[in-house]
Structure 1
């Protein structure tokens, strides 16, 4: 399921270049919009009982929850902006460390759900060819005790529109066994 979600996120990004361009240009998070686009894609894939902001475990909620093959899935989404300098993108001092901490917190939260927890996140913008994202995946991996495998549960997506050329890292990774 992680790979299906990852491919869906990649398709959403590639099919909405103008919208993503606005988010990248301003380093604006787009989690709310992505949640509904992903929910639509999952329904088209054939999941059932899909719910946005699904409440479980005495008041906790998942951004998206659904049933597939008699298994309940819980998704948490994050769109985390970096503070790395990039031509054509507003310079803002946004602490990427706090964004990564928020991703990790969601991962721990998903471990408490009764079904399959999948953490879905995007790091953006990344200067083309820049590998600083490795240290953040390593931190997430170490703290949540999960393993990232390129193409299977994370992917670097090339982005180019108008005067902005960069990359985004998209991930969909299971947080519990």
Structure 2
């Protein structure tokens, strides 16, 4: 009989949280639903994964919401992440970054060449190995560097990143043989 008051209090607290719109935010602890019970995670397009509220597959966390990820099918722009659009032909539209933005970790970040430096000549100073291009009035990577969304990487760094372990092993073998 002592369980009854505790159960009633639990239902009362649950009702209050629903009434006042309490939500279980992304990253919050949760219990996976059992037997088609409602998921505790209340953010649209989120679910309880490994006891934590997270975005469902095909969606990505952005500012506490779960918009559709880049490259996923969409119908209109407001389904996609910030600074992106729903583009393509009818029936095969997907979320993609708008001009001046590029994919960085699944979100659209302003690209180096998307930064306007016409009114503020120091706009490019925060980007290592970039300068304001006098003709376009946009930031541009310096000679010997290539744009990697919001930064300028050495042109040969892509090969070193992709083959870093192989390059290191070859360097060690060369040093050992010589």
Structure having the higher Rg: 2
TM-score by length of 2: 0.18
TM-score by length of 1: 0.18
Greater strand share, structure number: 1
Greater helix share, structure number: 1
Between 1 and 2, higher relative CO (CA 8 Å, sep ≥ 6) is seen in 1
